[in-house]
Amino acid sequence: MAARKGPRKVNRYSIEMKRTAVRLSNAPGARVMDVAEALDIHPFMLSRWRKLAWEGLLVATPARKSKSAQASKKAKAPTMVQMSKYAKLKRELELLRKEHEFLKSFDRFRAQLKAKGSPSSRGSGGDSK
């Protein structure tokens, strides 16, 4: 692959283009790789669009609003869906932290056993006649 010169080009695709790409990739027998190649986009991008469509987030957005309108939108209270997603993510994070701590303690335990030279690792079998 040839080296790029200058800044990388960033393409902005319309919602309609994204929807069409998703529809084509969801057709029976269609592969993401083939559709992406035909549309000259990266397969990962098409996969992201498919995920957004599956989650219902690939919808037309209204025209840009003024900064004051955007600020008031940011100040709105979170919706129930957002709150439930936040709670779910918080639970997942806590679970992952516990799993991580468990694995760290297991590694410390294994290191201690290895340092002591546990009998099971010495090969002292039951038949020594």
> Lowest-pLDDT range, 57-61, 100-104, 110-114?
57-61
In 3D, which of 85, 19, 83, 25 has the Cα closest to residue 56?
19
- Rounded CA separation 36/10 (Å): 17
Which SS3 state, helix, strand or coil, does residue 50 take? helix
Identify the pLDDT of residue 90. Answer: 92
pTM metric for this prediction: 0.42
Higher pLDDT, 97 or 61: 97
Cα R_g (the chain), whole angstroms: 27
